[in-house]
Amino acid sequence: MIGSNTALLAAIPLVVWIGVFFYLLMMDRKIARLERGEDGDDL
Amino acid sequence: MNGIAQTEAASLAEGRVRGLWWKGLCGIWMAALILAVFGWLGPAVNAEGQPMFTAGGHGAKAIFFHVPCAWLTFIAFLVGAFDAARHLLRGARPHAGLDDLKCATAMELGLLFAVLATVTGSLFSRNEWGAFWSWDPRQTSILVVLLILAAYGVLRGSVTDPSTRARLSSVYAVVALVPAFFLIWVLPRVMATLHEGPNQTIVGGMIGGNYRAVLYGLALPAFLSLFVWLFQIRIRLLQLEERAAHGS
């Protein structure tokens, strides 16, 4: 059975990883747009 | 265009993420690894059910982050040396510049994972042997590999001419593979080291509790796919920068 401390211990790195994952996805998507030449923003 | 190329072109046109399926798997594997390590996986125990390592056996869980980072350090070095050799062999032919970019990217990622391996290894060392650093042969060898990788970046940064920079850094990457191989695979095996115990216990299969399954089934694929993703992103960014610099 997972106690509250263990749940917190798992939640922190999990939340960090979810943030990193979606950041990488967002960057990947932006790069794809830049490669296509449709996004005028700088890198 | 064939079906695959049409799908790729359509993805690019809409700014969608290419290879979303394996990047999604990377996210799932890493999340599953975190949940396994901090959630359902019990302490490391031996055949008699006695806890192994510190914290009642939970100290062994550092391996799920430390070991993949160490493996990726060497894999990155191999990829870098391979691309460096291709660059040197291709000379002035097309794609030689891309090989140099790939080498630089691989060596950068190798440095990142070497730092992570050193830090996670130090944390394990503190728990297990009472000190963050003890100049153990394995610890010292990974530190030297880290310095070799850092020196690659220093070399690239110190040469302004692109073709000279590419040639010099490629030669360095190829030559540096020899001492890196010796430091990672030979030295810790010929000298007595604190690392030998955990090596035999964990990687040698003497540990119970599904540790090997999580290490090879979750940790390794998660970190490997993350490495490939970071590599791809970095290469594409460098290519965009080159394109912008040359005004194309």
Domain ranges for chain A: 1-43
Residue B45 is assigned to a structural domain of this protein: no
- Contact flag A24-B244 (C-beta cutoff 8 Å): no
Q: Say if residue B71's pLDDT is above 50.
A: yes
Measured between beta carbons, the chain A residues lying within 8 angstroms of B34 are 10, 13-14, 17
Q: Which long-range contacts (CB under 8 A, 24 or more apart) does B184-193 make?
A: B184/B73, B184/B74, B184/B141, B184/B142, B184/B145, B187/B137, B187/B141, B188/B137, B188/B138, B188/B141, B191/B137, B192/B137, B193/B136, B193/B137, B193/B138
Are the C-beta atoms of residues B163 and B118 closer than 8 Å to each other? no
Mean local confidence (pLDDT), B63-69: 90
Residue B169 neighbours by CB under 8 Å, 6+ apart: B84, B100, B103, B104, B152, B155, B156, B159
- pLDDT for position B223: 95
In chain B, % helix, strand, coil (3-state, to 5) comes to 80, 0, 20
User: B92 lies in which domain range?
Assistant: 58-245
Residue B80 is assigned to a structural domain of this protein: yes
Mean local confidence (pLDDT), B117-121: 92
Residue B139 is assigned to a structural domain of this protein: yes
B182 vs A38, higher pLDDT: B182
State the CB neighbour count (10 A cutoff) for residue B133.
13
Q: Say if residue B25's pLDDT is above 60.
A: yes
Residues making up chain A, counted from first to last: 43
Q: Say if residue B10's pLDDT is above 60.
A: no
- Contact flag B31-A18 (C-beta cutoff 8 Å): yes
Contacting A with CB below 8 Å, chain B residues are 11-13, 15-18, 23, 26-27, 30-31, 34-35, 38-40, 229-230, 233, 236-237, 240-241, 244
Residue B10 is assigned to a structural domain of this protein: no
C-alpha span between B239 and B34 (Å, rounded) = 33
Number of domains in chain B: 1
Are the C-beta atoms of residues B17 and B23 closer than 8 Å to each other? yes
Residue B30 is assigned to a structural domain of this protein: no
Query: Which segment of B29-33, B87-91, B188-192 scores lowest on mean pLDDT?
Result: B188-192
Count of alpha carbons within 13 angstroms of residue A37, beta-carbon side: 4
Q: Say if residue B108's pLDDT is above 70.
A: yes
- pLDDT for position B117: 93
**Which residue has 């302004």 as its token pair?**
B160
Are the C-beta atoms of residues B242 and A35 closer than 8 Å to each other? no
- pLDDT for position A41: 52
Q: What angle do CA B176, B184, B211 make, to 5 degrees?
A: 140
Mean local confidence (pLDDT), B156-179: 93
**pLDDT averaged over chain B?**
84
Mean local confidence (pLDDT), B38-67: 77
What global pTM score does this model have?
Answer: 0.84
ipTM: 0.81
Residue B46 is assigned to a structural domain of this protein: no
The partner residue sitting opposite A14, judged by closest CB among B16, B23, B31, is B31
The predicted-structure confidence for B124-140, as pLDDT tens digits, reads as follows 888 878 888 888 888 88
Residue B156 is assigned to a structural domain of this protein: yes
Mean local confidence (pLDDT), B205-228: 84
B45 vs B71, higher pLDDT: B71
- pLDDT for position B1: 43
- pLDDT for position B241: 87
Q: Say if residue B70's pLDDT is above 60.
A: yes
Measured between beta carbons, the chain B residues lying within 8 angstroms of A30 are 15
Cα dihedral B139, B169, B231, B177 sign: negative
Q: Could you tell me which of B161, B150, B148, B147 has the C-alpha nearest to residue B100?
A: B161
- pLDDT for position B94: 64
Q: Say if residue B16's pLDDT is above 70.
A: no
Are the C-beta atoms of residues B239 and B101 closer than 8 Å to each other? yes
- Contact flag B39-A17 (C-beta cutoff 8 Å): no
- pLDDT for position B18: 76
